[in-house]
């Protein structure tokens, strides 16, 4: 089983290691973040900025931990305003293909409606990422368009959320 935790400063070292370990794996299907992203000082500054956005309620960032407490993914809700946010996520190669992303996106959808009061989520992925498209579709997202994603053909999705009171 996996669990979501709200991103905290304490996750910095494990998060950078996760991103480095999975860089080539992610670059197969999504645009690479570039060399600067992986430099410790740049990464630390970026993390501080993300935590500030989270404190302001603009975004909600999460890490995904496996049963042993190892960081195996990240799940983000960006630009949370007007009852909607954009979902973004990455699951590392070691956890891929086991239903981890599908379960975590489901958890995050419930959290988005219950704890963050959101009524809809959007998501975009590349055409070259059929696994991500499957995760979204299994979680009730419907296709809404075919935008370009960093110069690559993409697919846009949307899901209307049922508002529920926060709980387990």
Answer yes or no: is 166 within a domain.
no
Relative to beta strand 84-91, strand 120-126 is parallel
Answer yes or no: is 55 within a domain.
yes
Distance, CA of 150 to CA of 128 (rounded, Å) = 12
Distance, CA of 49 to CA of 7 (rounded, Å) = 12
Angle between helices 40-55 and 12-21 (to 10 degrees): 120
Read off the CATH number of the domain in which 110 is found: 3.40.630.30
Chain centroid to CA 60: 10
Answer yes or no: is 165 within a domain.
no
Question: What pLDDT, on the 0 to 100 scale, is given for residue 8?
Answer: 96
pLDDT per position as a tens digit, 95-134: 988 899 999 999 999 999 999 999 999 999 988 889 999 9
Q: Structural domain of residue 98, as residue ranges?
A: 3-160
Answer yes or no: is 7 within a domain.
yes
- Region 87-101: mean pLDDT is 91
Answer yes or no: is 46 within a domain.
yes
Answer yes or no: is 62 within a domain.
yes
Answer yes or no: is 168 within a domain.
no
pLDDT per position as a tens digit, 27-67: 887 767 877 888 889 999 999 999 999 999 999 999 999 99
Q: Please state the domain count of the chain.
A: 1
Distance, CA of 16 to CA of 19 (rounded, Å) = 5
pTM above 0.85, yes or no: yes
Answer yes or no: is 118 within a domain.
yes
């Amino acid at each position: 089983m996996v669990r979501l935790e709200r991103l905290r400063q304490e996750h910095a070292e494990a998060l950078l290691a996760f991103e480095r370990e999975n860089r080539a794996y992610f670059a197969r299907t999504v645009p690479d973040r570039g060399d600067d992203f992986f430099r410790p000082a740049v990464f630390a500054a970026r993390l501080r900025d993300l935590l500030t956005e989270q404190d302001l309620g603009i975004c909600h960032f999460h890490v995904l931990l496996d049963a042993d407490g190892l960081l195996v993914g990240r799940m983000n809700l960006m630009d949370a305003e007007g009852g909607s946010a954009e979902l973004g996520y990455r699951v590392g190669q070691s956890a891929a293909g086991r239903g981890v992303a599908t379960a975590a996106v489901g958890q995050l959808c419930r959290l988005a409606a219950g704890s963050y009061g959101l009524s809809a989520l959007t998501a975009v992925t590349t055409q070259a990422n059929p696994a991500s498209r499957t995760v979204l579709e299994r979680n009730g997202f419907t296709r809404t368009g075919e935008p370009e994603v960093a110069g690559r053909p993409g697919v846009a999705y949307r899901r209307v959320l049922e508002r529920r009171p926060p709980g387990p």
